[in-house]
Chain A
Amino acid sequence: MTASTQAPTQASARTPPPATRPNSAAAQVRLVAGREISTRIRDKGFLIGSAVLILLILGMLVFQVVLSSGSDDTRIGVVDGNAAVDQALQAQGEAFGTDVEVVALDDEAAARTAVEAEDVDAALLAPSGAQPELLVMSGDAQLEALVQSTVQGLSIDDQLTAAGVQLTPPPQVDVVALEEDAEENTEATVVAVVGVLVLYSLLILFGQFVAQGVVEEKSSRVVELLLATMRPWQLLAGKIIGLGLLGFLQMLVIAVVGVVGALAFDVVSVPGRLIGTVVTVIAWFVVGYAFYASVFAAAASLVSRQEDLGSVITPASILLVLGFVISFQAAQDPNSTLATVTSFVPGMSPMVMPVRQAAGAAAWWEVAVAVVLMVLAIAAIVRIGGRVYAGALLRTGGKVKFREALKAERV
């Protein structure tokens, strides 16, 4: 072609009609979200991290099972026993905080075999005789005391009956619990603390993903190509929604593994409370993620290099870390001023409130207020953060000041 060639006149051979149709805003958001998910889900680091997190939860469950086993029930073999002996042993067991299972044994030889085989924890010989005997593998103070007091009680009963004393049944003590479900609350609180630990880890992890993604697009300058086809808010929304779905999915998987595991290993006594607490934590994860993902995205948009990310992310995550630390304090004293106040503070409430809820220390209206405050905060952050993001996105090079980004022209 030479310099003198003239432009071909209008509409030369225009081949087939364009293969494209204009995308709606929602379609662009979906495309961005889809890319985020498909990129992450094939990332080895992410997969390994997820597997480790689930193994950790399973490990905690197994640990619980090992800790709590043994103190559960006691098997006592009895030779020459009767119904009264069985009942007395079980009644004493209750007083000692263990379920006693009585196994009837034929004779001393059978008793020895059973103890040696650890088929029973101990074997009681001739409980009603003059010289009762307890066979154990080795000394167990609690077990000895349990059997001792049973035998004594039986003996006193016998002697009193022999002496012709008519016993009126002893009065039943009515128990009035001031804190009605203290034990259940404690259990739910433990579940909530574990849940908050997972919630916190996932918020950090996925907040990081959002921040790194924003900087990656800025540092590689691909953002200019992207913004030629969509608005900044579409890019931001796609990124947050895509990674959020992935985070939510991971939270769900962990929750299901945890709940199913806990039920299967019989770690919890009230499955209803367990599931309720887990659902609460998941709900708080959703609002917490919306909050921190927006904060992290806006903060990350101010820098152009991964190395500078720490300098903007650290201040943004102070609230997150504080909330996490306070959640432990809240587990110990859910009614303390610190826990109560912070359970309303947006950004901290996702970690403190579920613990207080589980401990039964938060009224429904308190939860409602905390949620409303959080939603208002998210609305404000999405607005301000979106402006910062749009203003800072095309300014590559150094670090953009927050105020500059707010004032910058948005395209």
Chain B
Amino acid sequence: MLEFDGLYKAYGSNQVLQGVGFTVAPGQMFGFCGSNGAGKTTTMRIAMGLARSDAGEVRWNGARVDEEARRRIGYMPEERGLYPKMKVGEQLAYFARLHGMAAGPATSAAAEWADRLGLAERRNDRVEKLSLGNQQRVQLAAALVSEPDVLILDEPFSGLDPVGVDSLAEALLDQCRRGVPVVFSSHQLDLVERLCDAVGILARGTIVASGTVAELKAAGSGRQLRVVAPQARPGWAAGLPGVRVVSEQRGDTVLEVAQGYDDQQVLAAALTTGPVTHFAWREPTLVELFRGAVTAAPAEVAA
């Protein structure tokens, strides 16, 4: 179990983290969301020992993550970083060795990962000669080459084309199947929704919502009804008591209803306009959940 427990961090008077905590189970893919400047990168850097928390700690299997444990973590920093003049293969082998692999296994692991991420032919090229997309793959290979127990990736998908996104996603799912907990931050919420078992939304220095995607949706659902009644005239639902019209477009209406309101009354009203082709509680998308969570209180200062 990877646990982030009550992390506090201030830069001067700027309280960035105010008790950030969440857990990631082995084999779980955790999507870490939040607006710009919310503190996602700071949280990850604390886990990697690149920043020191004012309070709280990060634990892996119950023990505080120390230098030794960190060598078992694959890390991809937000600011990509590789030696520009070093060859791809040598670079990967070097990082594998820094993580504690012996020379022989490091070389073969470097070759294997270059191969798996489609870089086999570029192994003897200097990193600076590669396209940005390929450099990104090398960066990911550098995080994976030491067969880490944990993966912490800061914005791994940014700057990738759809094909690149798919191959990276596949590589991460492979790691999950291997039992590795994967934490990654991303702004691409559709991607998070598609890939992640669990999601945490960071806003105002704390995790304002977390859980599996299903849980989050369940918590957020039960409030909105979608009714499709093609022959209904505009404003048909406006008069219904306890109901607020969220959107209405050519017979496709989204209604927000008060807690405990009987949805069958709405159905009855809809049927009076003619046939009803769709009537269901609507699951909010992650984007809507995110928006709701992030804007629930004073707006975040965008970085």
Contacts and interface: CB of A to CB of B under 8 A. Distances in A.
Interface of A: 1-15, 18-23, 28, 31, 35, 39, 216-217, 220-231, 394, 396, 409, 411
A216 B193 CA distance: 38
Interface in B48-70: 48-52, 67-68, 70
Interface residue range, chain B: 35 or more
Interface in B138-160: 142, 146-147, 149
A21 B86 CA distance: 25
Nearest to A410: B52
A13 B79 contact: no
Nearest to B109: A19
B293 interface: no
B198 interface: yes
Given A10-B25, A411-B51, A222 B98 contact: no
A231 B49 CA distance: 9
A4 B77 contact: no
A230 B26 contact: no
Contact of B179 (A4, A11, A20): A11
Contacts, number: 131
Given A20-B96, A228-B49, A409-B52, 5 more contacts: A3-B217, A8-B28, A11-B179, A21-B102, A227-B49
Contact of A7 (B28, B67, B85, B105): B28
Interface in B12-34: 25-29
Interface in B86-108: 86, 94-102, 105
Contacts of A21: 100, 102
Contacts of A20: 71-72, 96, 99-101, 146-147
Contacts of B213: 3-4
14 contacts: A1-B195, A3-B213, A7-B25, A7-B27, A7-B198, A8-B26, A9-B27, A12-B178, A14-B179, A20-B101, A23-B71, A222-B82, A225-B77, A394-B51
Contacts of A12: 26-27, 177-179
Given A3-B214, A216-B83, A396-B79, A229 B99 contact: yes
Contacts of A4: 212-214
Question: Of B48, B100, B102, B176, which is in contact with the most chain A CB atoms at under 10 Å from its CB?
Answer: B100
A19 B194 contact: no
Nearest to A28: B98
Question: Of A21, A31, A224, which is in contact with the most chain B CB atoms at under 10 Å from its CB?
Answer: A224
Interface of B: 25-29, 48-52, 67-68, 70-73, 75, 77, 79-86, 94-102, 105, 109, 142, 146-147, 149, 173, 176-179, 193-198, 212-214, 217
Given A3-B214, A20-B101, A230-B98, A13 B178 contact: yes
A229 B178 contact: no
B97 A31 contact: yes
A9 to B, nearest CB: 8
A285 B68 CA distance: 36
Nearest to A20: B100
Contacts of B178: 12-15
Contacts of B98: 23, 28, 31, 226, 229-230
A6 B197 contact: yes
A250 to B, nearest CB: 21
B81 A224 contact: yes
A225 B25 CA distance: 24
A396 B77 CA distance: 13
A411 B50 contact: yes
A39 B80 CA distance: 21
Question: Of B27, B95, B142, B198, which is in contact with the most chain A CB atoms at under 10 Å from its CB?
Answer: B27
A226 B51 CA distance: 14
B194 A18 contact: no
Nearest to A8: B27
B25 A19 contact: no
A281 B101 CA distance: 40
Contacts of A9: 27
A409 B45 CA distance: 14
B50 A394 contact: yes
Closest 6 CB pairs of A and B: A221-B81, A20-B100, A7-B28, A222-B81, A3-B213, A221-B79
Nearest to A218: B81
Contacts of B71: 20, 22-23, 229
A228 B49 CA distance: 6
A20 B95 CA distance: 12
B80 to A, nearest CB: 7
A345 B213 CA distance: 68
B194 A1 contact: yes
